[in-house]
Amino acid sequence: MLKDITLGQYYPSESIVHKLDPRTKILLTFLFIIAVFLIKSLYGFVVMAILTIILTKVAKIPLIVMVKGLKPLLLIMIFTSVINLFMTDGEIIWQFYFLKLTKEGIYLSAFMLIRVVFLVTGSSFLTYTTSPIAMTSGIESLMKPLKKLKFPAHEIAMMMSIALRFIPTLIEETDKIMSAQKARGANLSEGSLIKRAKALVPILIPLFISAFRRADELAVAMESRCYNGGENRTKLKELRFEKKDLFAVLIFILGCGAVISVNLILVR
C-alpha cells in the first residue's frame, strides 16, 4: 500500500543524530553522496553498508523504515538496471537478436543499482532525522552567503521544506483516493498497460484538485499571518555548531576515509 511509503517523512526519536545541527547533517549527506560515487569495488560498498547499518542503529531508526523508503523508486531502479544489463558493450555471455548480456553489463548494472540504493538511503536518512523546520533553517543558513547576490535563500529553503513536507501527505491522499475508487468497483491492477493508464485518470484528477486546494489553503494561512519572506525574521531556536557536531563530522570523515581506502587498495 502507498501508506507504507516513508519517503520524505520525519521519524521522531531522541537519538544523538536527531539532535545534531541540521547544517551538519546536510553537509555530511553531500559528503556521503560523494563517497558513494568514488567507490568502485564491491568491498567498498560492503564497508559502506556496515557503516550505514551502524548509523541507522545509532539514530534509532528501524531498518524496515529505511527499506520502505526505496519503494517509490523501485520501478526506476529495475528499469535502469535492465537497460545497463543488456545495452552495455563488452564480452558477450548471451545474445538474443539485439539484446546481449555482457560481463561489463552485469558489473555496471549491479554497481548502478547499489549506488542508487545508497543515494536514496542517504537522502532519506536526512529527512528521517531532521524536522521540516530544522531543514528550512539549515538550508537557509548554508545559502546565506548567496544573499549578497540577491539570491532568495529563505524562499528557496521554504519551498524545498514545503515540498518535502507534502510528500507523505500526497501519498496518503493518493492511497485514500485509490481505496475509494476500488470501493466503487474500479480495477486498477488488471488489464493491458493502456487500460491501466486510463484507470489512473479518476485518481490523478482528484489528486491534482486536492493538491491545488492544499496549496491555496497554505498560501491563505501564510498571508493571514503576515508572512513576507525572510527579511527581519527571527528564529525560535538559533542554530549553533557544538562539540557533538564536530565529533560527528570527524567520525563521518574517518568512516568515509576508511571506505575509500578499502576501495583504492582493492581496486589496485
Q: What is the pLDDT of residues 158-200, one digit of tens each?
A: 787 787 777 777 878 888 888 887 787 777 666 666 777 777 7
Kind plus residue range of the DSSP H or E element containing 228 = none
Q: How high is the mean pLDDT of the chain? A: 79
Of the candidates 145, 144, 70, the one whose C-alpha atom is nearest the C-alpha of residue 114 is 70
Q: What is the pLDDT of residue 85?
A: 78
Q: What pLDDT sits at residue 39? A: 83
Query: Does 4 have pLDDT greater than 70?
Result: no
Residues in the chain: 268
Query: What pLDDT, on a 0 to 100 scale, did the predictor assign at position 117?
Result: 87
147 pLDDT exceeds 80? no
Percent of the chain past pLDDT 90, that is, above it, reads: 1
Q: What's the pLDDT at 101?
A: 79
- Any idea which residue has 545534531 for its cell? 20
Q: With contact defined as beta carbons under 8 Å apart, do 59 and 18 qualify?
A: yes
State the pLDDT confidence band at 52, using cuts at 50, 70 and 90: confident
Position 215 scores a pLDDT of 84
| N- to C-terminal Cα separation, the chain | 45
Q: Read off the pTM.
A: 0.74
